[in-house]
């Protein structure tokens, strides 16, 4: 038995050990926190634990964060933290602070005209503040100058109580919304180079410019496999007709978007590349079975998912082999298959469960006729959410649609938990990409932002990339074609070159480019553009050395114009869709060969013109009418560069 003195001594020793352990624990925690802060990872954790924000303001009140009360008119105080656990904490704080209507609003990405049409007597800033949509989308008419674009975008960010997506369709090529930034090559031109790295570079430059202009969402790239030459809506927007090739370019584009700091969005699932109807004007149908979709259409989407794509846009198409449910059309009462955008089989069972996509599913525009003709605005909004869509793009009547969704939740046919899951996905993305909130927007120096964007555009680094892509995309075909060898059609000794074609726009663009290249100028100035425009009417533009004339295929003076020319360039733009004109062009080429007149074809649209004119001596596919495309064609015709591209789609009938 221990004496009192021994027990007292042992108790003291035990107490000292506990104190030492506590001291070591405090020191260890302090060092850990300091390391986190030093690394930039834990600063926000410290703030959260201490109950303050970065400005020293108290966040915690009665055990919860006082971000804003539901229905508050104040902006969210956004805090960007790292790590999924901390992101989830922040997302839940946001979610708990939203009313039901605000949650539904986060699922809407609206066009400004729809807002003002519903509320014609209110200022746009007030409507945005009241509705608090998840985002807006802008089009060409909304984007006029650098200064106007940035000022408008920043004002919208300042007007929104919840961080706002500002989206755009800046695909490049035929879908080019930002005219003041120059021309951008389309996807098919990029794929014709044979270099996926150029898709990555394009995505990076696109994302960089978007952010400088205060956009934070770009609906690109198209991931559809365009294996039908007669598809009326995808075409040059696609990376090609071979699924593995398209997958490689989609993967590279997603990487480039992420490298720039922008979300990546692929479209249009389950695949729009083989349709014969444009969903802007009608309701397409694909009758392929599951095996075909898995082997062709879905490969690029699987690649994008593996690469961490952030959003996938649905297609307004009927796929009766995947979705068996039908309904009566509101338009005429006819029986139609439930479109993919409104199909839980497509969006949930396949895209979510089978392909394991964890990002946000966004519909294509709900004002397109494929949906608007057959379903009511409210009905389409409700059905798309029930199907599994997280974001509704361009509902025709946003306020009305929110009320309709609220109503079905109250009736029990849709749960608030379903809405919460979608909103969590949206808020996670806004957190991940640090979408600017109203407070941050109010602190932005707009003049400096405009200056940075103008400097970026003036640097011409984008146009340098576009020129490089366009030159490497030009693809040669024909009976006299020798791969990788320059072929001079237009020599310095020629006095006159004749451009013949069926499309005035293509002829004018090619004439302008050829005049500029003959003159040796890098760009066509305003005077030359005006002169070239007049020349389409007067049929003649004189360069320093050569006269470049234009004649339509059906002009009465075509024979005389051919006789006077030293060389003829036939310019086509999807003439394969016009059998009569294709036949006329074939005869014209044969006549030119007979009289030994130098001739070449430039296919300015889809490369399927090479299929229709397979037996010509020499032709060049250029994949679009951007300035860089036609200038590249002119340089090839002048023998300054070789045509090194490869067809990104299957072109039948070539020798």
From 71, 90, 106, the end of a domain falls on 71
User: What are the helix and strand counts (H, E) for the chain?
Assistant: 26, 19
Residue 108 φ/ψ, nearest 5 degrees: -110, 135
Confidence tier at 543 by pLDDT (50, 70, 90): very low
How many angstroms separate the CA atoms of 115 and 164, rounded? Answer: 15
Domain assignment present for 514: yes
Same domain (yes/no): 551, 443: no
Would you say residue 14 lies in a domain?
no
Distance of alpha carbon 77 from the chain centroid: 29
Mean pLDDT of 622-638: 97
Q: Are 260 and 306 in contact (CB under 8 A)?
A: no
Could you tell me which residue, 55 or 331, shows the higher pLDDT? 331
**Chain length of the chain:** 655
- Judgement on whether residues 489 and 602 belong to the same structural domain of the protein: yes
C-beta separation of 518 from 528 below 8 A: no
405 shares its domain with 351: yes
Q: What average pLDDT score do residues 480-506 get?
A: 85
Q: Once rounded to an integer, what is the mean pLDDT over residues 370-396?
A: 97
Measured at the CA of 438, the angle between CA 176 and CA 90, to 5 degrees, comes to 100
Tell me whether residue 1 is in a domain.
no
Q: What is the DSSP string of 105-159?
A: HHTEEEEHHHHHHHSTTS-HHHHHHHH--SEEEE-GGG---HHHHHHHHHHHHHH
Question: What's CA 556's distance to the chain center, in Å?
Answer: 44
- Between CA 609 and CA 131 the distance in angstroms is 49
Residues 570 and 601 sit within 8 Å (Cβ to Cβ): yes
Q: Is the confidence at residue 382, as pLDDT, over 50?
A: yes
Residues 277 and 422 placed together within one structural domain of the fold: yes
Number of domains in the chain: 3
- Same domain flag for 197 and 303: yes
Interval 165-184 mean pLDDT? 95
Beta bridge partners of 477: 619
Kindly name the residue from 101, 280, 533, 566 that is annotated as catalytic: 280
- Residues 6+ away with beta carbon under 8 Å from 461: 205
Using the predicted structure, report yes or no on whether residue 241 has a pLDDT greater than 60: yes
Q: How far apart are CA 567 and CA 561, in angstroms?
A: 11
| Residue 161 pLDDT | 87
How many angstroms separate the CA atoms of 548 and 539, rounded? 8
pTM: 0.85
Strands 265-269 and 311-314: parallel
**Does residue 247 lie within any of the structural domains?**
yes
Q: What is the mean pLDDT of the chain?
A: 87
Pair (186, 48) in one structural domain = no
Tokens of 182: 């120059």
Is 239 part of a structural domain of the chain?
yes
Choosing from 152, 183, 364, 390, which is the catalytic residue? 364
Residue 536 pLDDT > 90: no
How sure is the predictor about 112, in pLDDT bands with cuts at 50, 70 and 90? very high
Average confidence (pLDDT) over 638-646: 94
CATH number at residue 627: 3.40.50.1700
Q: Is residue 602 a part of any domain in this protein? A: yes
For 570-588, what is the mean pLDDT?
Answer: 96
Q: What is the pLDDT of residues 509-520, one digit of tens each?
A: 999 999 999 887
The answer, yes or no, to whether residue 225 has pLDDT greater than 60, is: yes
> What was the pLDDT predicted at 84?
73
Domain that holds residue 57: 23-71
Cα torsion 231, 233, 237, 243 to 10°: value is: -40
131 and 48 within one domain: no
Mean pLDDT computed over 366-377: 96
Note the pLDDT of residue 423.
98
* 558 shares a domain with 436: no
Distances from the Cα of 473 to the Cα of 165, 343, 439, 646, angstroms:
34, 39, 45, 7
Together in a domain, 324 and 215: yes
Same domain, 408 and 513: no
Pair 300, 449 in one domain: yes
In-domain check, residue 103: no
- Residue 405 and residue 329 share a domain: yes
What's the average model confidence in pLDDT over 405-416?
Answer: 97
pLDDT at 157: 95
Tokens of 160: 């929104």
Asked whether residue 103 carries a pLDDT value surpassing 60, the answer given is: yes
| Residue at 539 is within a domain | yes
Residue 254 is part of a domain; what is its CATH number?
3.20.20.300
pLDDT digits (tens, 9 = 90+) for 68-100: 435 544 445 444 334 478 888 999 999 999 999
pLDDT in the model for residue 632: 97
Instruction: Indicate whether 529 pLDDT > 60.
Output: no
Verify whether residue 280 is a known catalytic residue. yes
Q: Report the pLDDT value the prediction gives residue 484, as an integer from 0 to 100.
A: 55
Taking the C-alpha atoms of residue 14 and residue 117, their distance in angstroms, rounded to an integer, is: 77
pLDDT of residue 50: 29
């Amino acid at each position: 038995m221990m004496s009192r003195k021994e027990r007292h001594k042992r108790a003291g020793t035990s107490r000292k050990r506990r104190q030492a352990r506590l001291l070591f624990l405090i020191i260890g925690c302090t060092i850990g926190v300091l390391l986190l802060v030093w690394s930039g990872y834990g600063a926000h954790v410290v703030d959260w634990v201490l109950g303050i924000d970065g400005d020293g303001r108290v966040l915690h009140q009665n055990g919860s964060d006082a971000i804003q009360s539901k229905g508050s008119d104040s902006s969210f105080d956004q805090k960007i933290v790292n790590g999924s656990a901390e992101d989830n904490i922040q997302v839940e704080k946001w979610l708990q602070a939203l009313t039901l209507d605000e949650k539904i609003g986060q699922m809407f990405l609206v066009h400004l005209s729809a807002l003002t049409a519903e509320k014609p007597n209110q200022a746009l800033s007030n409507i945005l503040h009241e509705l608090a949509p998840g985002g807006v989308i802008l089009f060409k008419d909304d984007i006029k100058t650098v200064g106007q674009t940035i000022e408008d975008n920043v004002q919208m960010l300042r007007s929104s109580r919840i961080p706002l997506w500002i989206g755009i369709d800046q695909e490049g090529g035929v879908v080019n919304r930002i005219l003041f930034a120059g021309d951008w090559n389309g996807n098919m031109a990029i794929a014709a180079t044979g270099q996926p790295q150029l898709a990555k570079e394009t995505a990076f430059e696109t994302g960089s410019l978007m952010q400088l202009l205060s956009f934070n969402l770009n609906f690109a790239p198209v991931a559809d496999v365009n294996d039908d030459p007669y598809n009326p809506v995808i075409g040059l927007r696609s990376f090609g007709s071979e699924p593995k090739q398209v997958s490689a370019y989609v993967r590279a584009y997603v990487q480039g978007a992420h490298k720039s700091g922008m979300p990546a969005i692929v479209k249009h699932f389950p695949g729009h590349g083989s349709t014969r109807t444009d969903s802007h004007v009608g309701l397409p149908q694909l009758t392929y079975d599951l095996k075909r979709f898995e082997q062709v259409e879905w490969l690029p989407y699987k690649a994008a998912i593996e690469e961490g794509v952030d959003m996938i846009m649905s297609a307004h198409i009927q796929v009766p082999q995947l979705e068996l449910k039908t309904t009566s059309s509101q338009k005429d009462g006819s029986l139609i298959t439930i479109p993919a955008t409104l199909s839980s089989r497509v969006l949930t069972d396949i895209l979510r469960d089978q392909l394991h996509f964890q990002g946000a599913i966004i519909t294509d525009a709900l004002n397109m006729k494929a949906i608007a003709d057959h379903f009511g605005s409210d009905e389409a909004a409700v059905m798309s959410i029930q199907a599994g869509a997280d974001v509704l793009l361009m509902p025709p009547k946003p306020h009305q649609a929110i009320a309709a969704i609220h109503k079905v939740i109250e009736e029990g046919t849709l749960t608030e938990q379903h809405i919460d899951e979608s909103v969590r996905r949206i808020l996670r993305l806004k957190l991940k990409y640090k979408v600017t909130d109203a407070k941050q927007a109010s602190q932005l120096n707009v003049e400096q932002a405009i200056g940075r964007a103008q400097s970026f555009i003036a640097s011409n680094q984008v146009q340098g990339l576009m020129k490089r892509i366009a030159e490497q995309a030009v693809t040669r075909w024909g009976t006299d074609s020798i791969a990788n060898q320059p072929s001079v059609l237009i020599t310095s000794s020629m006095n006159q070159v004749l451009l013949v074609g069926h499309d005035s726009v293509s002829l004018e663009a090619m004439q302008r480019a050829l005049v500029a290249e003959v003159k040796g100028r890098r760009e066509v100035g305003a005077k030359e553009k005006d002169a070239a425009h007049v020349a389409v009417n007067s049929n003649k533009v004189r360069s320093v050395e050569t006269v470049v004339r234009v004649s339509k295929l059906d002009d009465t003076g075509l024979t005389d114009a051919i006789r006077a020319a030293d060389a003829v360039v036939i310019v086509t733009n999807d003439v394969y869709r016009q059998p009569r004109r294709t036949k006329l062009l074939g005869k014209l080429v044969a006549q030119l060969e007979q009289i030994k007149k130098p001739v070449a074809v430039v296919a300015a649209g889809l490369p399927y013109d090479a299929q229709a004119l397979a037996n010509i001596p020499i032709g060049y596919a250029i994949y679009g009418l951007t300035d860089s495309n036609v200038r590249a064609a002119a340089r090839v015709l002048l023998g300054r560069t070789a045509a090194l591209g490869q067809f990104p789609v299957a072109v039948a009938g070539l020798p």
